[in-house]
Amino acid sequence: MDTPAAPAGTTSAAPQASVRITLKLMATLTDYLPQPRQGHQMALDIMPGATVQDVVERFRLPWKLVHLVLVDGVYIDPDKRDSRILQEGETLAIWPPVAGG
């Protein structure tokens, strides 16, 4: 028995198994990257629909150290981090509070 063809204009592609992003942990947060590591960034495969908060929790980053969060250079407000879904190819960069003088 033949399987019916998909209607015109539709695709039968399987759902994406993972999304690859670049994670950058800056300053003292670099210590939370797994070993061996080179520098302060890594390619990271995440589940489709994963949020900034999901990545923070996956790496067990202390919330008090998650200060400045950028996705592709755009600031993500703290109240949006649990709803901002990360997309294929994006770069998530996280900085701790920084003091200068």
Taking only Cα atoms into account, the Rg of the chain, rounded to an integer number of angstroms, comes to 18
Sorted by where each starts, the structural domains of the chain and their CATH numbers stand as 19-95 (3.10.20.30)
Q: What DSSP designation does 51 have?
A: B
pTM score? 0.81
**Is a pLDDT exceeding 70 seen at residue 43?**
yes
Give residue 9's pLDDT: 52
44-97 confidence digits (pLDDT tens): 999 999 999 999 999 999 999 999 999 999 999 999 999 999 999 999 999 999
